[in-house]
Amino acid sequence: MKEFYESNTDFRRYTDRYAAEFNLTTEQALTHSVVRNAAEYYENAEKGKISVSEVNAGCGAATIAADCK
């Protein structure tokens, strides 16, 4: 997970925002199931298995719940 965090800018940005919102270290955030689910989302998006625009239209996993409108 840490390697993916370091290599994927979008996932790193998500994780950093999540950690800041909940006052966690990056290492702590990476153990949370919400962040692990987001990693899976970003991995699938990176591999082209899902469309980012389709997921974003439904306020998908990559969005912190408070940001979902």
Q: What is the mean pLDDT of the segment spanning 5-20? A: 96
pLDDT in tens, 15-45: 999 999 999 999 999 999 999 999 999 999 8
Structure tokens at 40: 């899976």
Average pLDDT of the chain is 83
Q: What is the mean pLDDT of the segment spanning 34-60? A: 77
pLDDT score, position 36? 96
Q: Tell me, what amino acid is at 38? A: A
Asked if 36 and 14 touch (Cβ cutoff 8 Å), the reply is no
Domain count, the chain: 1
User: Residue 26 and residue 52: Cα distance in Å, rounded?
Assistant: 24
Q: Which pTM does this prediction carry?
A: 0.71
Range of the domain at 16: 2-67
Instruction: Quickly state the pLDDT bin for 69 (edges 50, 70, 90).
Output: very low
